[in-house]
Amino acid sequence: MITLTSTCDDCGSIESVEVDTTKFAAYKAGGTAKMHFPDGDWTPAHREIIMNNVPRPVQFYLCPMCWLYMEEGDHGPHNPDDGEWASDGPAGDSALRD
Ligand SMILES: [Zn+2]
């Protein structure tokens, strides 16, 4: 097992998740986070931490509380229209609710 940590870009909270070393290596080799860490065993919040531990075009991490804040508020720490949004983040389906 390996412990992955990420620091929230908004509030500075440090979140961590334990993943199987082999599984993490397989994810780094290719494929989506959801493919290697599917719903049921993993939550979108877990995947956010995992995804932030591999190089990606936009290195950005928000803790679950900040995601919640952003989903509920009209304005958050981040503007989804500015092109820096993580397309597969947990807030991705928020437009389908309400
Ligand atoms: Zn936060």
Tens of pLDDT, residue by residue over 51-87, are: 999 987 878 899 999 888 877 775 555 444 544 444 4
The one-letter amino acid code at 43 reads T
Q: What is the pLDDT of residue 15?
A: 96
Q: What is the pLDDT of residue 55?
A: 85
- Report CA(38)–ligand 1 centroid distance (Å): 23
Residues 6+ apart with CB under 8 A from 44: 89, 90
- Report CA(61)–ligand 1 centroid distance (Å): 8
DSSP output for 84-96: ---TTSTTTTGGG
Alpha carbon distances (Å) from 97 to 13, 47, 72, 84, 94:
27, 21, 11, 22, 6
The chain-wide mean pLDDT, for the chain, equals: 81
Could you give the CA distance from residue 53 to residue 73 in angstroms, rounded to a whole number?
A: 27
Q: What is the pLDDT of residue 67?
A: 85
